[in-house]
Structures are given as C-alpha cells and as structure tokens.
Structure 1
C-alpha cells in the first residue's frame, strides 16, 4: 500500500512539474524605422507579471504553457497587444509605432491658458489621495546596475588607467555590473522591508550587491523628490502642491487607451536653475493618476556629481490604481577627464496590494541579505533574469568571473602583492606604506613619516609613529594590534604604548579594546588642534594653542549593540598623570606683539603646575539610542542608515578613590540629544545638538578629569556641530554642571543659486547659533553665518557673554 502511495505521489509530482514548466518568450522590440526601443515593458494583460527589454530592445518573458495576451508598451509609442500561444520557447519580434496623440476636440485660444494647466490642477488636488490610496503592497523586484567608462586619461597620478581599471585600448569598459532579485514590502507611511533572493556582481563571486529597491523609489505624488541624494534640497515634483511656481505646462495631445483618456503634457522648468524637471508626463483624464513619466535633470537644475539624469517610469494598472511596472535611471558625467555613463533599471512584478504582514514585520531592517544569495548558478540567472544581458554585459561577466577565479589563487595574489607592496618615497613620506598579504587576509601598515613629525613648546621637534597589524577573519570580524612611540627632542621624553582591538561580531558591532603604556595627551580630551595645525601655528605665528600632559595608563573596554538602535559601552581605566611644562621657545620668526604662553592655560605668563602628579581609576559607561533606526543586514555586518529621528546618549563616569592607589573621587552624569539633516524641503536642512551634565560628586577632581568643551582659538579648524567658534580651548572646562546647545541650518544653495557668479560654485549658505551655560559662563552665545562647498567652509561670527560682545571674526574649516 505504501509503495502504491509513493508511486502515485511520484506521478503527481511529475505531472505538476510538467504543467508548471516555463518557456521563454523572446524577441526584440524596434520602432518603425528599425531602431531599437530600449527598456520597453512587456507584460501579460490584466496581470502584474511582466518584464522589461534591455538597452538593446531585447526581452525575455518566462511563461507557462498556454495562451496569453501580451502587451508591448513604451513611453512615446502606441501599446500593442498580441495573443500568443506558448507551447515551447518561441521568438516574437515586435514593432512599435510612435504614439498618435492629437488635439482633436481641444480648443486652444492663443491668448488663453493652455489646457494642460487645468489638468495639472486636478492632478494636484488628487495628489494626497493618490499618495496614500495603496496603504501596503508587496512585489517582486529585479534590479540591474551598469556603470562604465566611455573615456579616460592615459594616466592618473602616474598610473596606467587602462591596466588599472581593465579597460580596452580606447580606455573604455564596464566598471560595475550587478543584478539582484528581491521581495519588496511597503506599508504607509514609510515602512520598508526587502529580502534579497539573489545577487550577482561581475568579477566578485563572493560579493553582495548593494542594490536596494528603496533606492529606486521615485514617487511623483510626493512634493520633493531625490532629497539628500543628488542634491541636498531635492527637486520639485511636476504635480507638487507648489508646482505651478516652478513649471510651465503644454498639452501635447490626448489619446484613448483601453477606454481611458490619457493626456500627454510637457513639463518645462520656469527658470533654468530651478530645482525642477523637464520632460513629458502622462495623466489619466478620469482619475488624474500619473500613468507614465519621462523626465530629466541637468547640472543647471542643481544635480551634483553628474551632468544629466534621465528618469523613465512606466505604470501598470492594478485593480483601480496604477503601480510602477519599471523604472530606469540613466546618467552620464565627466570628472577629472573620466567620462562615465550608466543606468539602473528596476522591474516590478507580481504585486499584492492587500498583503497581511505578521506582527513586528517592519522592525527597522530595510534590507536583509543572507549568505546564500550570491551562490545562485548560471542556470538560475538564465531562468530568472527578467532583463536579458546585452552582448557587452555577457562578455563582461565571462571575462571578469574568469579573472576573479584566478585572483583567489595564492600564486596570483603573491604576484599581485609583489607589485603592490613595493616601497616608494611617496608612500613612505605622504600616504603611508601597507604590506598586504591578501591570501592570508593580513596586513601591516606603517604610518607616513611627514604627518608623524610635529613641533610644540613642550616637546620641541618630535615624532609620533605607529605600525598597525590587521588580521581579517570570517564575516567582517578582525583583530588589530598597534604599537606606537613618541619622542620629543627638547624634553627628551620617550613614550610608548600598545593597543589592540578585537571586532568579534560585525552584525552586533561588538568589539573589545585594550591598551597600555604611556603617552603625551592634550589637556582637553576632546582635542583642540591636530599636531600639524599646532606645529604650523607655533613655528610660523608664535602661538602655541595646544597644552599637554603625560600619563601612564592601562585600560580595557567593550561595546556592542544591545537592541536595534541601542549601543552600549563600558570602559575601565587606570592612569598615572603628570603635569608638563614648556621646554623650548624656538620659532622660525619672532613676531612683534606675539609670545608663547606657558603650558598652564590659566597662568599664561608663568609655568606653574596645573595639577600635582596623581593616580586615577575610573569606570565610564554609555548608552546611545536612535529612534526609528533603519539598517541593512549583510552576511558579514550590520549597516546603520541615517535616521530621520533623533538620537539620545547617556553617560556615567565614576572616579573611584583608593582602588589601585587612585586619588580621584567624582561622579559625572551627562545626556545629549541630537539629530542631523532635519529636512526643510527646498529650504535645506537643519542639525541640532543639546547636551547637559552634572558632577553629582566632585570631592576630588583634577583638571584632566573635568568636563571639557570643543573650543576654538584659531582661524582654521575642523568642522564639528558640537564645536564653538570662539570659546577658549581650556579656560571654561568645568567640574560642576553645564548646558550646551548647537543649531545650524544649511540652505543648500537656496539663495546663492540665484546669483550667477555664485551659482557655478554651488555654494551652500548656512547660519548657526551655539550656547553654553556653566558656573564661569552663565550665558555665552555665538551667532554665525557663512558659505560651504564640499569639505570647505568659511563663516563669520559673533560671540557674546550675556549682552556683551566679546569676539567676532572669520573662521575657516576643512575636512569631512
């Protein structure tokens, strides 16, 4: 009996497989002139099953045996329906005719408003309804990304570009080719979850694609699009609430498609430099849905990094609404002589607009990538790739995958290291030298010599030099060991330390750190100036801003993620601390009116000790929580994404008297709330930091244990939201209570883009205010305004102590 049941099961399974077998419907899509129609949509009528042609107009659609009505559709062309019976793999080539939109029945008076404006007004009225009419959905998403060089200089910084980037003899070729399939889920207002099913990156068999369906989302029902991507401000949608202030419209014609009247409307940016699109949109005359869009942005629109971005979005009717069936981003640009172009294409299919999500399905994980997604073989991709590869892309996969297999061999890696590990003067002096062993996943990095050299009035000319050994383990884990020495020629003081890090869980961002030795440190534990910055100021301008002390120490700490968005850390530290004094007054030129100050910031004219030699034992614990934290889970790590919600941090530090002869006795508790890039739409974005703290017990606190602030005494500095522009580096540190706040708004070119001479520079205007209250500075306030471009900024500010202005001037900064 059991054998009969087994036989029946096998017959049933075989029959199911037979009937479920899929065949490929293939072909090419061209126009009436014989030119290919790239990225045309091909789908089964009255379903959400479909695909997209590739850039060469070639398509492939997997179908079960049966008869289907296949719809061929592309923006600018009339849709065609074909009844096709599938019994085996077959080829069906298609010719699309240009769309025949007419103005028949539309009256346009030369002095009257174009009819497009009333259509747009109706679409704007329906914008919010259409934005929320699908509360949730799931879809299968396929993404292909291609980036290639179409021109490049022969050499760059002395390196042969053709060989370095594996280009052809014309210095052209694909730099990046990747594909992925995933299941994408969405729920209003902005909940996202995506699970990657497969991933493939040319030439990187063990890599995982960073394709995300959420990156391809562009919803024209939103007022502002592409914000904080290619532009900090974003771009106004053609059907935004305020679109009429940014666009002109022209009705190009109407057509009846499947009983629906579709309006073809040209959208034109009113001003060349407005953050607005140009192109064509298609609007249903009955429901006022957007049914297609073909628009573009240029550098004059405010796009950064690229010259032109073309966006083509096609929609599919799903029940009573329209959902995207395909999206295509095409781009090109030229940076330092490197001419590039490429595209990202997404195909959406198998929509479910009434899904039932389990509880806590949306938990902040917007993308999940498992270890198996890059293990799919060529047969899988042959059967599941919606957009066929072009001939160039096929060759790129074959060539790079064969090279990738070679590159994993010890013989190849040894030969590669032999070339890359050559020591040259540029590496030795400027960038640092790394001795790599990729096969064993270990490296030895030597610090560059020139940045290691310094001068200050405590140590004189000196060097701080270190070597870092790194051993990489599986799935993002690694350990690192770094010995470091420091020596000053004037004080003849040699210090040395050894530190180590073991990063043992990349998904939980968990690590253990430890260090021991001796060193020279800034009296302000938040740092004042870089060694190079202080050296330049001391040698050239006779201003020794930085003040130092010595400590002998040993510490150990650990940190890890405790829950999504919640990081915890604890550190135990022992130190013996020594006061230092100036030992040299050397300068290149003696400037009139300038003189070096002592190493005690409170007695600039006298070398008096700031504190006695003392020992300290302390425990420092912290918690940081980010509300609404989104992240991506990769097989080898967890990647946090910038949050739209604030973060809050709590610290507690206790100095314990008597343990290991410790002399300190204090308790400091502090909190801080902060958020970066709070969107203000076309008015840019804001950032804010608010912090407060109090020494609950300060029975014995020495200056290095004080709460310090990020001050600034110099013209130049590094940008930091928590930094004061004019506050002294040291004088207002406290062992009592404090409150500080910082606010900055970046207008992202809102005003400078209207001034021709500034527009080309793409400058961003900014204003800000900082505030501090503590026992010695009850009401200290700074106001500033300035301009920023990439990593450089210039600001002019005013500092007030109460109502009294005590400082003003320029501040320049550079760095990320």
Structure 2
C-alpha cells in the first residue's frame, strides 16, 4: 500500500465505488482472449517444525538432515486461453530442495488468478468484487491518490462479516472512470495453507491493464504439528496479448459450438524438456538474488561436496533404498516408466483413507492408477482399488480398465472385474414379499453367496454425447457358508454354486456435451444437461456355462446444476426391475447397490443411501429411487463463526426409495465438508413408522 499523502476521502462513497467495480468486473474478466508469457518464480522455504507426518503432504520433499532453509527457482512458459484455461510448462529449474520439489503444488494456483472472477483459486474463495459479495464483506475507503495519467485511485479495504475458509480479507486499489484494479492483496486459507497474496497489475491504457505483472506470496503450511513457511516472488513478462473487441465479448456461433478444441490448442504443442540448471540459470533469472539467497546456494554446494567425501557408498545406497520405501508407504507416489506408462499409487499407510458409518463400521481403501498413451493417441488406463471392512472382516477389490483403440470416435473396450457384495438368492423373495410390514431380517438365517464378476463392454460414441456399449456381464456366485433358512426350504434347487452370463447393452446420452480434441483423442468435458443411462442385460441358461436365467433393466439419470456463489445442486433419479422370475437368480442391481468402495459426487456420501440396511438392496425385484444434494458454503454454520471457519461446504441430503415393503423409505441428512474429512448425519423413516438415525465420516485428505 502506498505511503505518500492521500487526497480527501470525504466526497467519495465506498458503496458506489464497489458497485462500479462489480458492474465492470464481468467485462474485464473476459477482456483478454489469449496471451503468452514468461513466468519466473523464486521460492524460499523455511521448515520451522517437522515430524514424520510431513511426508503425507503431496509434492513435499524430504528435508535434508537439520537443514531448514531452501531455495527453488523456476522459469516457465505460460499460455492463457479464455475463459479460464491455463497451461504452464516449466522450462528450467534450479534450487537446493531434494529432487527440486517445492513445498506444495497448490501454491501454483495463486499464479493463475483472474482478479475479476467471482471466485478465486478455482471456486475455493469468494471474491470481494463479486456482485453478491456485499452479503459477506464489509468495505472501507481508506485513501484516495492521484495515479498515472491523472486517474484517481481508491484504496478499499474489505473485511469478512464472518470467519470462513471461503472468505478473504485485504485491500484493493481501483482506478476511477474505468474501474479496473491496480493492486490486490488478500489473506485467505485453502486446505492446509494460509497465504497472503499480493498482485500488481498493469496501468490504465496498457495492453497488460487487466493482467498481473508481479506477485508476492507469503504462505504458511500447518499440518499435524508441522509448520513450513514459504515466500514466493514471481514476475510475468508478456510476449503476446490478444484483447477482445467489444463486439467479440459474445463470440459468434461456430458450426459446432460444443467443440472447444481451439481453446485448448496450446496444451498439445511441443515444448522444451525441463532443464535442471545450476551454474547457468542466470539467463532465466528475472529477479536478482539477495545475499541470503546466495548463501543458501553456497551452503548447498559445500554440503554436497562434504557428503560425497564422508558418506560410505554402501550405507548411502541403503539409506536411499529405505528412503524410497518410506516414500512409497506414506505418500502419493508416481512412477514414470519409459515406454511402459505412468503408475500412481495412493499412500499405503495413510489414515486419511479411512471412512466410518454406524452401519458398516470402519472401511479402508487404496487406489492405483496406470495409464499409457500409444501411437495415434490411443489410451490405456487401469485403475485397481482395494478395500477392507473391519466390522464384517471382508476384503473388497475391483479393477477397471479401458483401452481407446479409435480415440477420435471414443471407440474402445472396457473390462471391469472384482468381488461384489455378498447377497442371498431370489428363493427368499416370495417369503419376504409376504411380510405384512417392514422386513425383520433377523428372523431369517440368510444364506449368503460370494461373488466374482466380470464385465466386458465395447463402447462407441455414435454421435457427440451418445454412447452405445455392448458386451457380456458374467457372475460366479458360491455359497459363503452352509446355512438354512428358518422358515424357508430351498429344496433341490440350491446347489451352492451359480453362474450367470448375460449379453448386455447400455445406452448413455448426455445432450450438449462439450469436448476438445487432444490430438486424435476426443476428451469430453461437461454439459449443461443431465446424463441419461439405460442398461439392459439378459442371462440365458446354458449360454457359456450359465446355470440360470434372468433379465435386468435399469434407468439412471444424473444432473449437476451449478448455481451462483459456489452453490451446486446434484440430483439423481432412477429405477429398475428383474423381469424374468421363473428360475433362481440374484437381485443384484448395478445402479442400486451397496458400494463397498464408494465414489460420490463431491464427497463419498452424496448420491447414495447411508443408513439403509444393506440387506434391502436384494429384497425386491424392482425399485424407484431419487437422491438430491444441495451444497453451499454458507447455510447454518456462519452464525457459530469461530467454531466453524474450517468448514468448506455445508450439504443438505434428501434420499427417497420405493420398493417392496418400503413404500416409501426416506433419508434426510445434513453434512459438512472440510479439507480433512466429510461428515454427515442422517435420519430415516420406513413406511412412515420406523425412524432411525445414523452418521458417516470419510477421511479424504489430499484425495479429492
């Protein structure tokens, strides 16, 4: 903030100034259509306090012995394409951190801020210039100055009305008449970081008027008694800026308005390989080194020389090996295998991959992702997931893989294998149907079957947004334990082993599907409309060894509706039935099932029934279901202020189900989301009589 004497502020009204800023912000947000820039970032890191848990942080390096202070410098090509597409390519890097890693990859988002956007950091923070921001901020005019070109410049401080991770505090400097921003400084929190970010923008009338020229960021990372302080200084040098003309603010309609390839073009240009520069990085350095920074490099070089002379080679290799093992166990790990592909592991020993619910107890899951790009942009992906339920002492696993061999048309195959839920057979359904009220499962000794399933599907996007998938769905079920039903005689039909092989067709339609072309590969992005899925299969006795027959048909509709001010409405509607009921079969729906390895909408709680007994999923030949989640940063908790500032989102859940014996079943819940966990509490009602209450918590730190 400027130190020279200011003009009299009395004649000016801060509300009027902010109204002008909010009015012009949407125009300035999209004023730049494209630019190329050189980005230089100098990072200084001070490890104030550390313990073993510091290794859980993604992109965090392992500090060297007692060394606390580090420096890292990067030089990047940055390309921007409206509306909000940034592509940053690091061309050269040097520093004293092990493996040239920084404190946190999340800090890079601060260099991609459009100060005129209604939200900062990719929808994480509500901007003080948002047109609805007066609900959450107070404003104070602190000074008026005469700026370059004679414009008056207003310094306005903004203060949150309540403590929340979605709100920031700081100041901005605005030029009158044009109402564009010269400086912005704000303090905010994002996940485990707290940061003060200062941005200086170009002067009025220049081509870079709406763009940042330099940054200064002071960030503090606090995590489980660890503390790391980082200082980031960045300079932007623009090579080419394309400013939209007034008539271009609304772009002309293209022949295919859903093809956004032109906006993503830069992402596929060849770029220079990252160079690890040490002695000759000066050609990239856009800010001079201070004496203290030069000392850090000198100490680093001296430490390297000493280490090479003193450390025994055998011990050094052993320490390196166990260091790699430690990294693999407690942090995200990515292996780039030359000509083989990329494998990414989630940490094996990470307590934040646990989840808990009253009905299912504790569950732990682990994910692995493998991908490889072949010639002509053909893509292979394999995603195994494993989990264990401690209450039931059951191990779950599944592996999904897909290979796009004609990527331009999204033609390929999908293979999905795993062990499904343990369920009982259709022999029980007639007796369950005769229950006069809600089923009392406890009076039955249900005979459960283990399951091994294999789904092989060929997928083809016939036209944009319309997929036709066809293939086979196979299940092999074997009795989990020998048992009989107290009130039901299975007779000779029960053999302890059941095989089904079903031809399967799935239609999925997303109207208005936006996409871009990554070389020869079509990549779908989003749609403003819902996705409709129709799934049908029919098992034929004797076909490929099938021991019985069944027919299943299901409809599933999901719709994500973005609202204003970081609010989102998620909806799901569906139904299904088994139509062939003459032979023994298993009621095992695809879109209505207890998911042991869940993946919800914006958490692992929404879109599913949380306190419904898992035995209900197999108790009826048909179902109709609906789910809704309303997510917003401010609902009930702002009034509690200091106790709830860590809450990122609040959620309202409504789930409804109609089937045999449940007409209806309703769940209503309230939940919160933080950067450490998601928590929801639910109340359910069955047939307007039976009330239950339950809760679920999932720890998903760094796994969103």
TM-score by length of 1: 0.59
Matched, 1:143 2:143: no
Runs of 5+ consecutive residues of structure 2 not aligned to the other structure: 309-313, 352-365, 389-394, 426-441
CA separation in 2, counterparts of 1:746 and 1:138?
A: 33
Give RMSD over aligned pairs: 6.1
Could you say which residue in structure 1 is the equivalent of 2:123? 228
Instruction: For residues 410-429 of structure 1, give each alpha carbon's deviation from its aligned partner in whole angstroms, at most 9, with x where no partner exists.
Output: x99986774358799x97xx
Tell me, yes or no, if the aligned pair for 2:261 and 2:517 is still in contact at 8 Å.
no
Could you say which residue in structure 2 is the equivalent of 1:295? 185
1:122 Cα deviation from its structure 2 partner: 3.6
Change (3 A) 1:731 1:570: same
Change (3 A) 1:342 1:774: farther
1:685 Cα deviation from its structure 2 partner: 3.5
1:304 Cα deviation from its structure 2 partner: 3.6
Alignment partner of 1:785 out of 659, 670, 684: 670
1:305 Cα deviation from its structure 2 partner: 1.8
CA separation in 2, counterparts of 1:611 and 1:294?
A: 73
Could you say which residue in structure 2 is the equivalent of 1:170? 67
CA separation in 1, counterparts of 2:383 and 2:112?
A: 43
Could you say which residue in structure 2 is the equivalent of 1:419? 322
Change (3 A) 1:237 1:564: farther
Change (3 A) 1:155 1:506: farther
Instruction: For residues 291-321 of structure 1, give each alpha carbon's deviation from its aligned partner in whole angstroms, at most 9, with x where no partner exists.
Output: 312321245xxx5422233231413445799
Change (3 A) 1:347 1:633: farther
Change (3 A) 1:217 1:310: same
Tell me, yes or no, if the aligned pair for 1:144 and 1:179 is still in contact at 8 Å.
yes
Matched, 1:652 2:518: no
Matched, 1:283 2:181: no
Could you say which residue in structure 2 is the equivalent of 1:311? 198
Tell me, yes or no, if the aligned pair for 2:455 and 2:472 is still in contact at 8 Å.
yes
Could you say which residue in structure 2 is the equivalent of 1:266? 156
Matched, 1:328 2:215: yes
Matched, 1:352 2:242: yes
Alignment partner of 1:343 out of 214, 232, 238: 232
1:252 Cα deviation from its structure 2 partner: 0.8
CA separation in 2, counterparts of 1:647 and 1:129?
A: 32
SS at match of 2:638: helix
Instruction: For residues 586-625 of structure 1, give each alpha carbon's deviation from its aligned partner in whole angstroms, at most 9, with x where no partner exists.
Output: xxxxxxxxxxxx7xxxx57768589654432113344556
CA separation in 1, counterparts of 2:397 and 2:137?
A: 61
Query: What does 1:422-433 align with in structure 2 at a 5 Å threshold?
Result: none
CA separation in 2, counterparts of 1:204 and 1:523?
A: 50
Alignment partner of 2:555 out of 666, 671, 676: 671
Change (3 A) 1:688 1:235: same
SS at match of 2:608: coil
Tell me, yes or no, if the aligned pair for 1:101 and 1:253 is still in contact at 8 Å.
no
Change (3 A) 1:545 1:388: farther
Could you say which residue in structure 2 is the equivalent of 1:689? 572
Could you say which residue in structure 2 is the equivalent of 1:549? 449
Matched, 1:102 2:6: yes
Tell me, yes or no, if the aligned pair for 1:248 and 1:267 is still in contact at 8 Å.
yes
SS at match of 2:161: coil
Change (3 A) 1:643 1:241: same
CA separation in 2, counterparts of 1:200 and 1:634?
A: 26
1:265 Cα deviation from its structure 2 partner: 1.7
Could you say which residue in structure 2 is the equivalent of 1:54? none
CA separation in 2, counterparts of 1:121 and 1:497?
A: 55
Could you say which residue in structure 2 is the equivalent of 1:182? 78
1:769 Cα deviation from its structure 2 partner: 0.7
Could you say which residue in structure 1 is the equivalent of 2:653? 768
CA separation in 2, counterparts of 1:664 and 1:547?
A: 18
Could you say which residue in structure 2 is the equivalent of 1:523? 423
Matched, 1:744 2:656: no
Tell me, yes or no, if the aligned pair for 1:247 and 1:276 is still in contact at 8 Å.
no
Runs of 5+ consecutive residues of structure 1 not aligned to the other structure: 1-74, 77-97, 452-465, 487-494, 526-541, 584-597
Change (3 A) 1:500 1:129: closer
CA separation in 1, counterparts of 2:651 and 2:6?
A: 49
Change (3 A) 1:549 1:225: same
Tell me, yes or no, if the aligned pair for 2:447 and 2:481 is still in contact at 8 Å.
no
Change (3 A) 1:332 1:196: closer
1:703 Cα deviation from its structure 2 partner: 1.6
1:742 Cα deviation from its structure 2 partner: 0.7
1:269 Cα deviation from its structure 2 partner: 0.9
1:337 Cα deviation from its structure 2 partner: 1.7
Instruction: For residues 176-222 of structure 1, give each alpha carbon's deviation from its aligned partner in whole angstroms, at most 9, with x where no partner exists.
Output: 75442133222xxx3x5556666445587999x98999874544444
CA separation in 2, counterparts of 1:331 and 1:561?
A: 48
Could you say which residue in structure 1 is the equivalent of 2:684? 798
Tell me, yes or no, if the aligned pair for 1:282 and 1:293 is still in contact at 8 Å.
yes
Tell me, yes or no, if the aligned pair for 1:469 and 1:480 is still in contact at 8 Å.
yes
Tell which structure's C-alpha radius of gyration is larger: 1
Matched, 1:118 2:16: yes
Matched, 1:702 2:588: no
SS at match of 1:755: helix
Tell me, yes or no, if the aligned pair for 2:502 and 2:538 is still in contact at 8 Å.
yes
1:124 Cα deviation from its structure 2 partner: 3.8
Tell me, yes or no, if the aligned pair for 2:587 and 2:620 is still in contact at 8 Å.
no
Could you say which residue in structure 2 is the equivalent of 1:722? 607
CA separation in 2, counterparts of 1:805 and 1:572?
A: 42
1:351 Cα deviation from its structure 2 partner: 1.3
CA separation in 2, counterparts of 1:481 and 1:125?
A: 46
Instruction: For residues 638-665 of structure 1, give each alpha carbon's deviation from its aligned partner in whole angstroms, at most 9, with x where no partner exists.
Output: 9987877654444332323432243444
Query: What does 1:409-558 align with in structure 2 at a 5 Å threshold?
Result: 418-419=321-322, 513=415, 522-523=422-423, 548-550=448-450, 556=456
Higher relative contact order (CA 8 A, sep 6+): 2
Tell me, yes or no, if the aligned pair for 1:178 and 1:201 is still in contact at 8 Å.
yes
Instruction: For residues 775-806 of structure 1, give each alpha carbon's deviation from its aligned partner in whole angstroms, at most 9, with x where no partner exists.
Output: 554433222234454324140313242xx232
1:735 Cα deviation from its structure 2 partner: 7.0
Change (3 A) 1:642 1:101: farther
CA separation in 2, counterparts of 1:418 and 1:243?
A: 56
SS at match of 2:16: helix
Change (3 A) 1:554 1:278: closer
Tell me, yes or no, if the aligned pair for 1:180 and 1:211 is still in contact at 8 Å.
no
SS at match of 1:322: coil
